[in-house]
Amino acid sequence: MPASPAAPGSTALGEPRSEAGRRRAGRPVGGVLDKAGITAAALTLIEKKGYDGLTMAALARSLNVAPSALYNHMESKRDVLLLVEDHLAALVDVSAFGAEPWEEAVRKWAWSYRDVFSRHTPLIPVIAVLPVTDAPQTLAMYETVSAGFRDAGFPEERIVSSIVALESFIFGSAYDVTAPADIFDSGSMADVTPSFTGAVRSLAAQGHERPADVAFSLGLEALIAGLGALRSA
Amino acid sequence: MPASPAAPGSTALGEPRSEAGRRRAGRPVGGVLDKAGITAAALTLIEKKGYDGLTMAALARSLNVAPSALYNHMESKRDVLLLVEDHLAALVDVSAFGAEPWEEAVRKWAWSYRDVFSRHTPLIPVIAVLPVTDAPQTLAMYETVSAGFRDAGFPEERIVSSIVALESFIFGSAYDVTAPADIFDSGSMADVTPSFTGAVRSLAAQGHERPADVAFSLGLEALIAGLGALRSA
DNA sequence: CTTCATAAATGAATGGCATTCATTTAGTGG
DNA sequence: CCACTAAATGAATGCCATTCATTTATGAAG
C-alpha cells in the first residue's frame, strides 16, 4: 500500500542468497541464525575488527544474511551485546569457590573477571545496568559467588553489597588496562603539578611491566581484607 | 571546483544568522563559540536532553550556529566531551586535603567524585583513557590529591597506584547509582539460584533508600583502611 | 496431494549521525 | 585601502540502526 517495494520476486533468486539462502530459507534447517550462531559470529567479528566493527550490517554479512534478517531474532543491537556479555560471563573463573579459602577464591575470581572484560570494555556500560534475568550465565556466576560468600560466614544482608563493591572495582579496573602508557604525562603542566608529576615518575622508575596490575592488586587486597572482616565465623 | 555549492552570498544573510550571526561573524567579538561557551552550551543540553540529546547538530543549534562551525574550534565530538569532563573535574571536592585527616579527606573526595560522575556516566569511558595533558582541571585535582597522599606519609611510588585503585572503584560505583532497582531480580531462575536470591531478598529487607550507597560505603571504607596501612608515618 | 499458516529472509526505504569541503564573510594589521 | 585570515555556511558523504511490505519455503492439516 505505501511506497513502492519495486520488482517483486524478480530479483528474489539473484546472487545474494546463492549459497546460504538455499540452506536457510523457510523453517528451522540447521539454525545458523539462532542465538548461539549469532553470538559466535559476533565474537569472531569483535576479535577481528573490534567493537567499532561490530555493526548489524557486518554481523549479518558474516552470517550470509541480510541485516534485516537479524531483527527476526533480536529486538535490537543491545540484544546482541547482551548475548556476548552472557557468553563472556561463563568464561569467568569461579572454580575456586568451595574449593579454596574465601580470600583466594575472591582473588582468582576478580583477576579472571577483570581480564575477561578488559578486552571487552564497551560492554561495561551495558552490564552495569543489565537486569540479571536476561543473562543466565551471569546469574549463574552470581549464584556461585554468593554461595561462596555465605559459606565463608558472611551475613546474608551484606553479601550483595560486597559483591557489588568488588564488581565496581573490577569494572573500573578493566578500563585501566586499556589506557595508554602515557596517560599520566602532565606535559607542559609538569612544573605546576610537582607532587603528581613526582609520584608518576616515581612509579615509572619502578619499571613495572603492567602498571594497571599494580593498582589492581593494591585495591583488590585492600577490599579482600576490608570485606573479609565482615565475616562472623 | 567540485560539486555545486549553490547560490553564493544570496542566502548568506538570511534568517539563520539573524541574531548571533551578526554578533559573531568575522573575528573574536565576544566569543560565544570559544571553549567556555561550548562547554556551557553542552552542559545545558546534557541537563535538558541527556547524553543522547548531545549531538553536534543540537549543540550548534543551541549556539545559533551551523554544525560545521563547531569544527573550526574542535577536532571532533570527543573534544566536546573532554571539555565537559574537565569542567566536571573542577566540581569534585578536594578541599579536605590539607585541612582534615587523610581518611576523611579521601572519604569526602571519593563521595563527591562519585556523585558528580554518576550523573555523567557516558563520560567514564572517555575519562578512563584520557591523557591528563588535555584536561587541566583534572590534572589540578590529581595534584591536590597527590599532595594529600604525600603529606599523609605515603611512599611516593605507591601514590599513583593508590589513586588509580580508588578511581577505578569510584567509576565502577558511578554506574551502580544509575542501575534500575530491579536489576538483581532473578525472575524465573529464582529457584535455581537460592543463595543469590536469598542474599538479594535479605538486602532488600533492610529497606535502604539507596542500595548503591551501601555498597559504595562498604568498599570505600575497605579501601581507605587497606590503603591507609601503606603509610609509613 | 493440495492447501494453508507461519517462521524466516529480503531489499528498499528512513531518519539520524559525525564529519568534510569549497566557498563566503567580515574584521584587523600593514 | 587592501590583503590576510579566522570563522561561519550549507550542501554533500558515508555510515549507522531500524522498519516494513513482500516473498519464500516448509511442515502440518485436511
Inform me whether the pLDDT recorded for B106 exceeds 60: yes
CATH code assigned to B88-228? 1.10.357.10
> Which amino acid would we find at residue B31?
G
Note whether B217 and B100 are within 8 A (CB): no
Residues across chain B: 233
List the nucleotides on chain C closer than 7 A to a protein CB: 6-14, 16-28
pLDDT of residue A14: 26
Residue A122 CA to residue A171 CA, distance in Å, equals 11
Q: What DSSP state is assigned to residue B118?
A: H
Decide: helix, strand or coil at residue B100: strand
Q: How far is the CA of A28 from the C1' of D27 (A)?
A: 10
Interchain pair B164, A215: CB under 8 A: yes
Domain ranges of chain A: 18-74, 88-228
pLDDT of residue A85: 98
Mean pLDDT within B216-232: 96
CATH code assigned to B20-74? 1.10.10
Q: How far is B106 from chain A (nearest CA, A)?
A: 14
Domain range A18-74, its CATH number among 2.60.40, 1.10.3470, 3.10.450, 1.10.10: 1.10.10
Note whether A101 and A95 are within 8 A (CB): no
Topology alike, domains A18-74 and A88-228: no
Q: What DSSP state is assigned to residue B76?
A: S
Q: Residue by residue, what is the 3-state secondary structure of chain A?
A: CCCCCCCCCCCCCCHHHCCHHHHHCCCCCCCCCCHHHHHHHHHHHHHHHCHHHCCHHHHHHHCCCCHHHHHHCCCCHHHHHHHHHHHHHCCCCCCCECCECHHHHHHHHHHHHHHHHHCCHHHHHHHCCCCHHHCHHHHHHHHHHHHHHHHCCCCHHHHHHHHHHHHHHHHHHHHHHHCCCCCCCCHHHHHHCHHHHHHHHHHHHCCCCCHHHHHHHHHHHHHHHHHHCCCCC
List the nucleotides on chain D closer than 7 A to a protein CB: 6-13, 15-27
Interface of A with B in 164-193 (CB under 8 A): 164-173, 175-176, 178-180, 182-189, 192-193
pLDDT of residue B134: 87
pLDDT of residue B233: 62
**Predicted confidence pLDDT, tens digits, chain A (233 residues):** 233 333 333 222 222 333 333 333 333 443 457 899 999 999 999 999 999 999 999 999 999 999 999 999 999 999 999 999 999 999 999 999 999 999 999 999 999 999 999 999 999 999 998 999 989 999 999 999 999 999 999 999 999 999 999 999 999 999 999 999 999 999 889 999 999 999 999 999 999 999 999 999 999 999 999 999 999 86
Cβ of B78 under 8 Å from any chain A Cβ? Answer: no
Out of A121, A142, A219, name the one closest to residue B125 (CB).
A121
Interchain pair A172, B176: CB under 8 A: no
Q: How far is the CA of A30 from the C1' of D23 (A)?
A: 21
C-alpha cell at A139: 546469574
C-alpha cell at A5: 517495494
> Which amino acid would we find at residue B36?
A
Decide: helix, strand or coil at residue B153: coil
Mean pLDDT within B20-37: 53
